[in-house]
């Protein structure tokens, strides 16, 4: 891996930008005696001549970061960024995925640059959130599968999605959605939810989780504590849910309470719940929600991850660097930055600087990194032999399984509709 790397940040000022009270931050790393510049960032960013944080602290902060990027292959610049940061994981989107072999090669190339095992993540729910539809084939939505009312098909939904995800080289799927459907959130969530009833949502999720687990893929329940009553899209704005604590505990939190031992990850939403926090702090930045409710009251012991910190819902409450610090301070183990390289560096640097300044926060960083390390060491799905590059025959088989699953789903849904009509007819005649 070459000589040890140490991250730096310096401020460059020229006569011209001094007159405008404007500077630039340069982020890069030292390798031996050479300094490599990775990014010039516009201020504001807290800058010092060189971070006094130890390499150990840098590596701890790196393990708390999962990030996304542009492109379908690793550019020289991106290779340098991944190699320097040594992140805890990466996430791919449709913009990164052209074909099964290309995706597998992209993930493998990234992993080769990182000493520790990475979380290789994708959002793969089926329906409107299906990153692999063009590379493999479309997968049915949660709502479509739940309409069949067949638990064996819920399980097969998880299994076939897991097979897709694993075949392309991923080991984490940010699914299932545990939000309860409602009239308020229907324009935003559409077919991503199973039901408005917590017992039905749990039934679908439990079987989906079993299928995903059988395929060797880690799951993530989302969006804690629940977006079921959120009428705004947190990608753009901060939703506010006005349900009482009692309603949330009995309804939206029920899936997390019931499935807490079956969820390797829980993702926390950028949504405010004033009846619980007495303000409009997003759950993703709230110690009340993450530490007091999820960790202590519910007793969740898996890894807690923020939703993407570039989303409008959280940026309405905090600068992205501060958001990264505050989600960790609130009790999250991992923060997610999905798009801009500038923001990847900004969040990393801000967390690093705060951990160096605040010893209590540093202890939180150390504890989160230790949880992630222990998880990676003990997780069977992460320690399996690497999946070989997918062959055309293997992908054709996957497409066939998806078609077969779709046909089973069609027949089951039709049978269900017929049974309902017969029941209604018998009821009306009596």
On whether the CB atoms of residues 26 and 10 are closer than 8 A, the answer is yes
Give the domain CATH number at 118: 3.20.20.300
24 lies in a domain?
no
Range of the domain at 169: 53-384+392-410
The answer as to whether 426 is a domain residue is no
Whole-number pLDDT of residue 420: 79
Measure Cα distances from 99 to 96, 128, 168, 252 in Å: 9, 19, 9, 37
What the block records as the tokens of 350 is 């801000």
What is the pLDDT at residue 53? 45
> Which backbone phi and psi does 5 adopt, to 5 degrees?
-105, 145
**How long a stretch of residues is the chain?**
430
Return d(Cα 310, Cα 324) in angstroms, integer: 10
Q: Which residues, including other chains, have CB under 8 Å from residue 400's CB and lie 6 or more apart? A: none
The per-residue pLDDT for 229 is 86
Structural Rg of the chain based on CA atoms: 23
**320-369 pLDDT, tens per residue?**
999 999 999 999 999 999 999 999 999 999 999 999 999 999 999 999 99
Residue 31 lies in a domain: no
What distance in Å separates the CA atoms of residue 82 and residue 62, rounded to the nearest whole number? Answer: 10
The pLDDT value recorded for residue 168 is 98
Q: Do residues 284 and 307 make contact, with C-beta atoms less than 8 angstroms apart?
A: yes
Give the residue ranges of the chain where pLDDT is below 50: 1-25, 29-36, 41-53
- The reply to whether 8 falls in a domain is no
Q: Please give the pLDDT value at position 27.
A: 52
Q: Domain for residue 26, yes or no?
A: no
Residue 122 to residue 376: CA distance in whole angstroms: 18
Q: Is 57 part of a structural domain of the chain? A: yes
Q: Report the domain count for the chain.
A: 1
Active site residues: 235, 307
β-bridge partners, 173: 122, 219
Residue 83 in domain: yes
Distances in Å between the Cα of 306 and the Cα atoms of 183, 215, 269 are 26, 25, 7
Residue (of 117, 106, 31) closest to 66 by Cα position:
117
Among the listed residues 31, 110, 38, 83, the one whose alpha carbon sits nearest the alpha carbon of residue 342 = 38
Contacts of 372 (CB under 8 A, 6+ apart): 63, 64, 88, 303, 333, 334
Residue 416 is assigned to a structural domain of this protein: no
């Amino acid at each position: 891996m070459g000589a040890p790397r140490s991250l730096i940040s310096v401020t460059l000022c020229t006569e011209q930008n001094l007159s405008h009270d404007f500077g630039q931050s340069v982020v890069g790393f030292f390798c031996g005696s050479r300094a490599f510049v990775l990014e010039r960032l516009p201020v504001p960013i807290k800058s010092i001549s060189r971070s006094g944080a130890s390499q150990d602290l840098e590596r701890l902060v790196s393990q708390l970061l999962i990030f996304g990027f542009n492109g379908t292959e690793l550019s020289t610049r991106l290779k340098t960024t991944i190699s320097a940061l040594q992140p805890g994981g990466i996430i791919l989107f449709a913009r990164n995925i052209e074909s099964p072999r290309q995706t597998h090669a992209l993930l493998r190339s990234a992993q080769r640059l990182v000493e520790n095992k990475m979380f290789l993540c994708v959002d793969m729910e089926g329906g409107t959130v299906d990153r692999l539809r063009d590379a493999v084939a479309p997968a049915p939505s949660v709502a479509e599968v739940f309409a069949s009312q067949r638990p064996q098909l819920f399980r097969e939904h998880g299994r076939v999605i897991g097979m897709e995800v694993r075949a392309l080289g991923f080991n984490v799927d940010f699914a299932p959605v545990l939000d309860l459907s409602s009239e308020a959130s229907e324009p935003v969530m559409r077919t991503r939810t199973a039901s408005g009833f917590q017992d039905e949502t749990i039934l679908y999720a439990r079987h989906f989780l079993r299928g995903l687990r059988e395929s060797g893929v880690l799951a993530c329940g989302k969006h804690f504590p629940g977006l079921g009553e959120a009428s705004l899209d947190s990608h753009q704005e901060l939703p506010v849910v006005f349900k009482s604590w009692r309603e949330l505990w009995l309804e939206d939190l029920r899936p997390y309470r019931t499935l807490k031992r079956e969820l390797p990850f829980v993702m926390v939403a950028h949504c405010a719940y004033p009846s619980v926090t007495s303000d409009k702090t997003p759950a993703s930045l709230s110690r009340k929600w993450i530490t007091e409710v999820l960790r202590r009251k519910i007793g969740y012991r898996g890894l807690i991850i923020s939703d993407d910190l570039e989303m409008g819902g959280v940026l309405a409450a905090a600068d992205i660097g501060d958001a990264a610090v505050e989600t960790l301070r609130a009790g999250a183990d991992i923060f997610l930055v999905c798009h801009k390289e500038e923001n990847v560096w900004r969040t990393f640097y801000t967390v690093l600087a705060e951990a160096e300044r605040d010893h209590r926060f540093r202890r939180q960083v150390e504890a989160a990194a230790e949880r992630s390390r222990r998880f990676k060491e003990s997780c069977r799905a992460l320690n399996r032999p690497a999946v070989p590059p997918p062959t055309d025959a293997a992908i054709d088989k996957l497409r066939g399984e998806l078609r077969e699953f779709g046909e089973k789903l069609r027949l089951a849904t039709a049978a269900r509709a017929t049974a309902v009509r017969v029941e209604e007819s018998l009821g009306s005649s009596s």
